[in-house]
Amino acid sequence: MRVSTSLASAVLIALLIEPVDPALGDSPPQKQLKTYALPDGTQSADIAPDEQSVVTVGTKKLDVADSEKKTIVHVVQVWNFKEGKQLAEFTAQQSEARVAPKGYLLDRSRTEPIVRFSPDGKVVAALIDRTIHVLRAADLTELRSFPLDAPDNVTRTSPGGRTIVHEPSVSAMELSPGGQVMAVLWVSEMIHGRIQLYDISSGKSALGWDTPQGWIHFTRGIVWHPNGKLLLIAIPNESPCSSANSQQDIFAFDAQTGAIKKKIRTGLLTGSIAVSSDSRVLAVDLNCFGLFKNHDPKLKVFDLTTGKHLQSVSARETGARYLVSASADGSRFLAFTGKMAAKFDWSDAVTYGVVVDETFSVWSLTSYEGIVTSQNIPGLKESELRLSRKGKYAVSYGKASFVYDLP
C-alpha cells in the first residue's frame, strides 16, 4: 500500500495545527541519581515509612517438570538497601494445578506478587498467588494469612466454537492510610474489574463492588485518599492508541459503601493517578506515541470536589505519561518522562512508539517546581515506580529494580 503525497501533506498540516496545552513550570534538571540495586527477579517492592529499608518479593525457585503442574516458591525479603544487607526473609510455597477441561481454552493469566509496608512500618502485607500473608516487618514472622475471595471466571465462545475461560487476576493491592484495610483490584478479560476490601486483622472481606466498565486491564494501580474515606481509580475509556472520548475516567468510591462519590473527565486515556490530602488529583496519559499526535502530553491536575481542571504541568520534550506517584506526606510527586519517538511503517500505514531513553522526573506537590530528572534507566517504562513516604527516595521494580536517592 502506498501513501499518497496529499495524505502525507494532510497529516503534516494536522501536526502543525495541533492545539498547544499551556502548562506550568520547566522540565526538572537532569542529574545522575545514586541508585541501590534490588535482587534479581524482584517483582514488587516498597520502601519502609522511615525510609531506612525496602521490602521485596520475587521467585526463588520454579519446578517445571510437569507442564500442567507448577511448584512456585516466592521469597519476601527486607533489606537495608544502603548497605545491601538482608535483614529478614520469609518463604511462601504455592502449588497449583492448571488443567483445562476438554474442549476449553484456559486463560493462563496469574496474579503477580505484591508487597506493601503498613503506614506505621510494623507490618508487611504480601500477596502471593491468591493469599495475603501478614508479616511482622522486623523479622518477617508470619502473623496470619488468609485467602482472597476471587470473582467468578468470565467465559466467552471463540469464533471456532471453543469456550475460553478468563480467570480474574489481582492487578493492584494497597493498604489504607490507617493500615487496617486492604484494597484489592481484580481484573478479568480486559474490561471487567472488581474492588474488594479486607480487614487485615481478621482476614474477612468487608466489602466488594464491580467497577464501571472500561479498559481496566490498562489501569496502573488504585489509590487511597489520605483521609482514608475514599478509594480512587482511573479506568481508561478507550484502549491505548485510540482517541479518548468524553466519558468520565476517574472514579472516587466511598470506602464504607462502595458507592461512587465523585467522577472526573480528564480528556486523556488515563491509567495512573495520585491524590493529595487537599483533594487534588494528578493524572497522566497512557496513550500511544503517534506519528503526529500525543507527542507532548502534560500531567493534569484536577479538583476532586468539583472535577475542575486546575492546571497542567510540563515535562521533558515528549511529555509526562504512563505513571504518576505522590509521596504520602504530600511533599512531592513523580512521573515517567522518558523521551519517545514514532516509527511509521509506510507499507502497512502502522505507527508505533519507540523508547529513546527512560527517565522519571520529580516535582514539588506544593509549588509544582521541578526538582530533578533521573538519568536514563533501561527498562523503566516496563516497570512500576513509587515514591517513598517522605519523598526522599523512589523505588522501581520489574525490568528495572532499584532504589533512587533523590535530592
- pLDDT tens for the 407 residues of the chain, in order: 444 444 444 434 343 334 445 566 568 999 999 999 999 999 999 999 999 999 999 987 555 555 555 567 899 999 999 999 999 999 987 655 444 555 444 444 467 899 999 999 999 999 998 999 999 999 999 999 999 998 888 888 878 778 888 888 999 999 999 999 999 999 988 899 999 999 999 999 989 999 999 999 999 999 999 999 999 999 999 888 887 788 999 999 999 999 999 999 999 999 999 999 999 999 999 988 766 677 789 999 999 999 999 999 999 988 999 999 999 999 999 999 999 888 776 666 666 678 899 999 999 999 999 999 999 999 999 999 999 999 999 999 999 999 999 99
pLDDT of the residue at 145 = 96
Cβ count near 229 (within 10 Å): 15
Number of helices (H), then strands (E), in the chain: 1, 33
Which is it for strands 205-210 and 222-224: parallel, antiparallel or unpaired? unpaired
With beta carbons less than 8 A apart as the criterion, state whether 188 and 151 touch: yes
Is 285 inside any structural domain? yes
Question: Which residues pair with residue 384 across a beta bridge?
Answer: 397
107, 140, 108, 102: which is closest to 123 by C-alpha?
140
Cα of 308 vs its chain's centroid, Å = 24
All three cell numbers of 223: 489509590
pLDDT of the residue at 106 = 41
Tally of structural domains, the chain: 1
Is 407 inside any structural domain? yes
pLDDT of the residue at 64 = 55
**Residues of the domain holding 228:** 214-407
Torsion angles phi and psi, residue 401, rounded to 5: -120, 100
Is 385 inside any structural domain? yes
Sign of CA dihedral 189, 264, 240, 312: negative
Q: Output DSSP code: residue 251.
A: E
Is 147 inside any structural domain? no
All three cell numbers of 164: 475460553
Is 156 inside any structural domain? no
pLDDT of the residue at 241 = 80
Cβ count near 89 (within 10 Å): 13
| CATH code, domain with 252 | 2.130.10.10
All three cell numbers of 46: 516498597
Is 152 inside any structural domain? no
Task: Measure the CA–CA gap between 389 and 163, rounded to whole angstroms.
Answer: 46
Position of cell 490530602? 277
Is 307 inside any structural domain? yes
With beta carbons less than 8 A apart as the criterion, state whether 76 and 140 touch: yes
380, 372, 381: which is closest to 401 by C-alpha?
380
All three cell numbers of 48: 519502609
